[in-house]
Amino acid sequence: MFHDEKRDFRRMQIHTPAKLIPLESGSEIEATCTDLSATGLAVNLDDVVEVGCMFRVLIASTSTSITSFDATAKVIRATKEPDGSLSAGLEIISFN
């Protein structure tokens, strides 16, 4: 299968709840994961996050045969979209 995108890993377009738990300080952030690959993810959220912040990211599995997603990730992009919503791109540092 061919694809024109220059990324090393394919992305899965998803729409599922995610929790971002700050590694330093702050409160848990509820988000929606919209895009997931082997090296990163994109989320929509209601709270502002800063580039460089580290989070534990949890995405619950809906299947007993698939483990829930649990990773440490770093914010590499934080954007306010034209419609006023907030989005962020996170790079996966390690899987927990």
Q: Per residue in 75-85, pLDDT tens? A: 999 999 899 99
Q: What is the pLDDT of residue 3?
A: 42
Other Cβ atoms closer than 10 A to 43: 26
Is the pLDDT at 94 greater than 50? The verdict is yes
Other Cβ atoms closer than 10 A to 65: 5
d(CA 92, CA 8): 14
The pLDDT confidence band at residue 2, using thresholds 50, 70 and 90, is very low
Residue spans of the domains in the chain: they are 12-95
pTM: 0.85
Q: Give me the residue label for tokens 């998803």.
A: 14
- CATH match of 12-95 with 2.40.10.220: yes
Q: What's the pLDDT tens digit per position in 15-70?
A: 999 999 999 888 999 999 999 998 999 999 999 999 999 999 999 998 889 899 99
CA distances from residue 8 to 2, 39, 40, 81, 90 in whole angstroms, order as listed: 12, 9, 11, 26, 16
Other Cβ atoms closer than 10 A to 88: 25
